[in-house]
């Protein structure tokens, strides 16, 4: 590199050899020192800069790849840590819910001292909260048992025994069935004396004699009571009036389908003034007694 000093009389090389020529700067004002770089040196510097830049970008890309891997590991660790905290939180929440149920704690505390008392309290608890209990199977594959116990068409009870205490929706279905049965019977729809179509031959074209149907003695369902429910038992008082077995067949057929598809009915008893486990003096809703209007 050469260094020019304006205003100097002679430029001397760095090796100490005096040149044979000189420069005289008489018309230029003094100025700062100016340095000139050779062209080949600039090219090599530029090439070195590009190499360094490429290497740096390569290092940055590899470094970002390492960072991504570390982030994935961190995410896995954070997820495991979150699951651990969540499971611990759920456990504490369950314990907290048990602590807030003094009734259940009292039942558990009395299991060893007085098992009968604990059993009675558990039954009362299930009875009060039976509407919140979900049965795994609503219907029953076992056929419904039907018995008659001195049944009087004009004054008798019809008893129902279910496998489980019926839920609110089950009681609603039973009430709708009995209500429909009563309406059909009250309108004379269940009259076995006028069954022209069911008794006519199948190979012939059906025909109906209106005069014969009008002259048949009518059957009327006189009166019916409300449905009473105690736990898994129920009863209803009826006054059918006319001794018409067809009206009973209609009810039995409907209850058979309900027992199979919706709520299991263990047995239906026509007649009798009492049924096993039925308590006449039980009238409290908290004890499992309820009345439903038909």
Predicted confidence (pLDDT) per residue in 237-273, tens digit: 999 988 889 999 999 999 999 999 999 999 999 999 8
What lies within 8 Å, CB to CB, of 231 at 6+ separation is 127, 165, 277, 288
Kindly state whether residue 139 falls inside one of the protein's structural domains.
yes
Q: What is the pLDDT of residues 55-65, one digit of tens each?
A: 555 554 444 44
- Assess if residue 256 is contained within a domain: yes
Look-up of token digits 């409907």? 254
Residue 40 lies in a domain: no
Instruction: Give how many domains the chain has, as a whole number.
Output: 1
Determine, yes or no, domain membership for 288.
Answer: yes
Which residues does residue 61 pair with via DSSP β-bridges, in sequence order? none
Neighbours of 278 (CB within 10 A): 17
140-195 per-position pLDDT tens digit: 888 999 999 999 999 999 999 999 888 889 999 999 999 999 999 999 999 988 98
Any idea what the CATH number is for the domain that residue 250 is in?
3.30.70
pLDDT at residue 25, as a whole number: 47
The verdict on residue 57 lying in a domain is no
More confident residue, 126 or 230: 230
Residue 164 within any structural domain of the chain:
yes
Predicted confidence at residue 184, as pLDDT, reads 94
pLDDT tens digits along 131-140: 555 555 568 8
Q: Is 258 within a domain? A: yes
Residue 43, pLDDT score? 46
Asked, for residue 38, whether it belongs to a domain, the answer is: no
Which residues form the domain of 250? 135-191+219-275+284-292
The whole-model pTM stands at 0.55
> In this structure, are residues 191 and 246 in contact, taking their beta carbons and an 8 Å threshold?
yes
Distance, CA of 82 to CA of 89 (rounded, Å): 10
């Amino acid at each position: 590199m050469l260094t020019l000093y304006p205003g100097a009389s002679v430029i001397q090389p760095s090796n100490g050899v005096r040149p044979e020529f000189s420069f005289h700067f008489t018309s230029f004002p003094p100025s700062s020192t100016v340095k000139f770089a050779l062209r080949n040196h600039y090219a090599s510097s530029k090439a070195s800069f590009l190499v360094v830049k490429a290497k740096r970008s390569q290092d940055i890309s590899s470094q970002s790849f390492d960072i991504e891997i570390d982030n994935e590991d961190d995410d896995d660790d954070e997820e495991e840590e979150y699951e651990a905290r969540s499971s611990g939180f759920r456990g504490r929440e369950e314990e907290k819910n048990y602590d807030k149920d003094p009734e259940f704690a009292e039942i558990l505390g009395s299991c060893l001292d007085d098992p009968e008392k604990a059993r009675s309290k558990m039954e009362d608890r299930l009875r009060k909260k039976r509407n919140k209990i979900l049965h795994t199977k609503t219907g029953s594959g076992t056929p419904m048992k039907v018995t008659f116990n001195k049944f009087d068409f004009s004054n008798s009870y019809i008893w129902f025994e279910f496998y489980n205490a019926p839920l609110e929706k089950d009681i609603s279905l039973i009430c709708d069935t009995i209500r429909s049965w009563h309406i059909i019977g009250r309108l004379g729809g269940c009259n076995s004396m006028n069954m022209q179509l069911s008794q006519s031959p199948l190979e012939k074209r059906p025909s109906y004699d209106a005069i014969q149907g009008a002259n048949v003695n009518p059957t009327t369902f006189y009166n019916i009571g409300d449905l009473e429910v105690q736990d898994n038992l129920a009863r209803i008082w009826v006054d059918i009036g006319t001794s018409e077995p067809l009206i009973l067949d209609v009810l039995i057929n409907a209850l058979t389908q309900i027992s199979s598809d919706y709520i299991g009915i263990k047995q239906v008893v026509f007649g009798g003034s009492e049924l096993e486990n039925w308590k006449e003096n039980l009238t409290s809703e908290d004890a499992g007694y309820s009345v439903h209007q038909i």
